[in-house]
Amino acid sequence: MTSLERFSLSGKRAIVTGASRGIGRAIALGFAEAGADVALVSRKLEGLRGVAKEIEERTAQRALPIACHVGRAEDVNRMVDEVLREWGAIDILVNNAGTNPVMGPLAEMDPAAWDKIMDINLKGPYLASARVIRAMIERGEGGKIINISSAASLDPAPMLGAYSVSKAALNHLTRTLAKECGHANICVNAIAPGLIETQFAAALISNPAIHQSVVRGTPLGRHGQPDEIVGTALLLASSGSDFMTGQVVVVDGGARM
Question: DSSP string spanning 29-53?
Answer: HHHHHTT-EEEEEES-HHHHHHHHH
10-247 CATH: 3.40.50.720
**pLDDT block averages, 10 residues each, the chain of length 257:** 91 98 98 98 96 97 98 98 98 97 93 97 98 98 98 91 97 98 98 89 75 86 94 98 98 91
Domain residue ranges of the chain, discontinuous segments joined by +: 10-247
Question: What pLDDT, on a 0 to 100 scale, did the predictor assign at position 250?
Answer: 98
Question: What pLDDT, on a 0 to 100 scale, did the predictor assign at position 112?
Answer: 97
Give this prediction's pTM.
Answer: 0.96
* Among the listed residues 60, 82, 70, the one whose alpha carbon sits nearest the alpha carbon of residue 20: 70
**In sequence order, what E strands does 18-62 have?**
37-42
Which helix (H) or strand (E) covers residue 92, if one does?
strand 92-95
Catalytic residues, by residue number, are 163
